[in-house]
A and B are shown apart, each in its own frame.
Chain A
Amino acid sequence: AQKVTQAQTEISVVEKEDVTLDCVYETRDTTYYLFWYKQPPSGELVFLIRRNSFDEQNEISGRYSWNFQKSTSSFNFTITASQVVDSAVYFCALRGPAGGFKTIFGAGTRLFVKA
């Protein structure tokens, strides 16, 4: 079975703090894709990153960085120097053949960044 676990339900930080959102996944696939999405209060899903299971390189995009550890089945997301505009719900997701290529979402982590 495919499963995505985001153990942190809510995180509250003060602006300029760094924050890491955890994501642990389960799959029997050898080829799969991992995603992070941001959902601001307006509701739309904003795509942040897609990672192929064969690519374990960490990625940095501005204040965002991702740490993919296949050995621990984790795909953590770090926001550096957080800003109020980062306040949103963040979803980690998984897609692969074992799940019929359906995107399976984690429960989401609600991030509050206070000024």
Chain B
Amino acid sequence: GAVVSQHPSRVICKSGTSVKIECRSLDFQATTMFWYRQFPKQSLMLMATSNEGSKATYEQGVEKDKFLINHASLTLSTLTVTSAHPEDSSFYICSARDGAEGANYGYTFGSGTRLTVV
């Protein structure tokens, strides 16, 4: 089945630094990927939709200059948390669509990245 690889699984960084999270579709091409954030004991909240070769679409309230998304190829999307602060500490998880829009396609999730900003 479709596999999405997400790295790193855990990262601790100092306040003010930037962190890049990668999401790769291993055995399929993903024209669209989604990035979610999950605070402790809360649900997954969609941050942005990443489309290959174009700018990401951010959900309301998500700072696009802080959360930079790049989807340069059909198998890789990256989320960079710039100038991270402790309040950015969260669980970030990506998801990729493995089929055509509207069809009976599946969405495969990465294993998530736990970011801790100290």
The residues of B that contact A101 with a CB separation of less than 8 Å are 97, 101-102
Q: Is A36 an interface residue (CB 8 A)?
A: no
The residues of A that contact B77 with a CB separation of less than 8 Å are none
CB-CB under 8 A for A95 and B109, given A101-B101, A102-B46, A103-B95: no
The residues of A that contact B111 with a CB separation of less than 8 Å are 43-44
B44, B108, B112: which has the most chain A beta carbons within 10 Å?
B44
* Chain A residue at minimal CB-CB distance from B113: A43
Q: A95 contacts B107, CB within 8 Å?
A: yes
Q: B107 contacts A106, CB within 8 Å?
A: no
Contact with B along A62-106 (1 / 0, CB 8 A): 000000000000000000000000000001000101001111111
Q: How large is the interface on A (under 10, 10 to 19, 20 to 34, 35 or more residues)?
A: 20 to 34
Q: A47 contacts B109, CB within 8 Å?
A: yes
B residues in contact (CB < 8 Å) with A: 34, 41-46, 49, 91, 93, 95, 97, 101-102, 104, 106-112, 114
Give A44 to B42 CA distance when docked, in angstroms.
14
Q: How far is the CB of B115 from chain A (nearest CB, A)?
A: 12
Give A91 to B93 CA distance when docked, in angstroms.
14
Q: Is A11 an interface residue (CB 8 A)?
A: no
Q: A103 contacts B43, CB within 8 Å?
A: no
Q: Is A16 an interface residue (CB 8 A)?
A: no
Q: B49 contacts A102, CB within 8 Å?
A: yes
CB-CB under 8 A for A91 and B95, given A44-B109, A44-B111, A103-B107: no
